[in-house]
Amino acid sequence: MKIDYSIEPPVVQGRLSLKQIEELVAKPMDTRPNKKFYIALSVSLSALLFGAVCLAFSFYYGTGLWGNNQPVAWGFPIVNFVFWVGIGHAGTLISAILFLLRQRWRTGIARFAQAMTIFAVMCAGIFPIIHTGRPWLAGYLMPYPNQHGLWVNFTSPLVWDVFAVSVYFSVSFVFWYTGLIPDFATLRDRTASKIKKAVYSTFSLGWRHSNRHWQHYEKAYVILAGFATPLVLSVHTIVSFDFAVSIMPGWHTTIFPPYFVAGAIFSGFAMVVTVLVFVRKIFDLQNIITIDHLEKMNKVILATGMMVGYAYSMEFFIAWYSGVEVEQFVFINRAFGPYAWAYWIMVSCNVLSPQLFWFRKIRRSVPLMIVIVIFVNIGMWFERFVIVVTSLHRDYLPSSWGYYTPTFYDLGILLGSFGLFFTLVILFTKMLPVVSISEIKAVADGAQPSHHGGEHNG
């Protein structure tokens, strides 16, 4: 088969006109939600409520309801925190890094991925705060002049984390909102409802699609993408410092920052694909979020999956090569100790299952794709479980070894975080344009002047 690589497939398929694109994207906002929407929402709200009740019990009776105890003091809250922060990374990668790399196929999925970043970071933010035991005193994490005369310890990775995650959330939100402003203006000008118009006018800030504005706006978009790129790399690097800066065998390794970032992108892409395949089907966006886009995302999953696999094997190699006995013990214990089941779930889900994406047919098959990305999601959750729990449960002192088991409440709060995430995603799909209207119009066929080279940045 001869393939001409000089011609890219069109970003928007089906030769849609600008108006058709707009109508397609705005349709969920123009129509009343149907029965399926309410069913989906009630399922996710039930999960959220379940988690909220478990959390309320934890607040009332204290964190003793959880499985965390010496020697595994970190347990589920930190596992879930790292998992959710990682999910968020794909959104910034798609919206910022792929934008800087001029990957035009990102346009169809960027808005959605950015929204997922924001929701995932919201889910992540809950866990370290509840893990402190008294979340109502979380304000102490911020440096502010107080009557105790105390300041936070700026040299501690845990404080870096506070800064990294809160800045990540703020910048992602600003980036997302900046992208939404022209769309709010478009929605404002197409709606007939007075209330909707008032809301959209407020959020559009009175945007006029002026080219004197577009000029600065595009500049700002590049600047935001330029800052979001090192930011997203820094966030999971700093999360990995929580582990790597300690002297715990199995944590104290220099491979952690790149390994965590690769893992974050891996899990984030898997989550984006998981949700997107449903969204494009339900909202009839197959022409905007095309199978080509999904295939490209699956390629990223394959690549990052192999990076993660490389990191797993390199950890073992360094443990052997370093000659440090406890380090060697920790890794042998990881693979063949009491938590071997978790380790092998992780390896088979993260390293083996994405290998199927070598086959073009599988990359382009929606049902198989769903199965694989869900495996990846499970595997990446177990990766964090393995890192946190297996290192802690058998440290230097054999007399304090233990076996960590999560309790009912731990599982309930994890379920609740998924409930929160999907509730926000479901509400988002119905309330805001899931695809950037102005960006997708700009990459449609014939949207750019022909004498200017047209597809010049393809």
Cβ of residue 301: shortest distance to other proteins, in angstroms? 27
Report the residue number, 224 or 432, with the smaller CB distance to other proteins. Answer: 224
Does residue 153 interact with other proteins by CB under 8 A? Answer: yes
Tell which residue, 346, 344, 343, has the closest CA to residue 267.
346
Report the residue number, 156 or 405, with the smaller CB distance to other proteins. Answer: 156
Give the C-alpha separation, 234 to 232, whole Å.
Answer: 5
Does residue 156 interact with other proteins by CB under 8 A? Answer: yes
The token duo for 387 is: 């890192």
Cβ of residue 61: shortest distance to other proteins, in angstroms? 8
Residues in region 99-138 near other proteins by CB under 8 A? 134, 136
State which of residues 112, 217, 259, 357 lies at the interface with other proteins (CB under 8 A).
217
State which of residues 155, 323, 341, 361 lies at the interface with other proteins (CB under 8 A).
155
Contact status, residue 202 vs residue 121, Cβ threshold 8 Å: no
Does residue 154 interact with other proteins by CB under 8 A? Answer: yes
Cβ of residue 91: shortest distance to other proteins, in angstroms? 16
Cα-only R_g, the chain: 23
Give the C-alpha separation, 439 to 437, whole Å.
Answer: 6
State which of residues 73, 101, 150, 352 lies at the interface with other proteins (CB under 8 A).
150
Does residue 60 interact with other proteins by CB under 8 A? Answer: yes
As to burial, measured by CB atoms within 10 angstroms (0-12 exposed, 13-18 middle, 19+ buried), residue 3 is exposed
Residues in region 246-265 near other proteins by CB under 8 A? none
State which of residues 202, 246, 286, 400 lies at the interface with other proteins (CB under 8 A).
202
Residues in region 14-33 near other proteins by CB under 8 A? 17-19, 22
Report the residue number, 129 or 282, with the smaller CB distance to other proteins. Answer: 129
At position 59, the amino acid (one-letter code) is F
* Residue environment code for 8-44, b if the CB has 16+ CB neighbours within 10 A, otherwise e: eebbbeeebeeeebbebbbebbeeeeeeebeebbeeb
Query: Tokens 């022209």 — which residue?
Result: 182
State which of residues 69, 178, 246, 400 lies at the interface with other proteins (CB under 8 A).
178
- Check whether the bond before 367 is cis (ω within 30° of 0): no
Cβ of residue 441: shortest distance to other proteins, in angstroms? 5
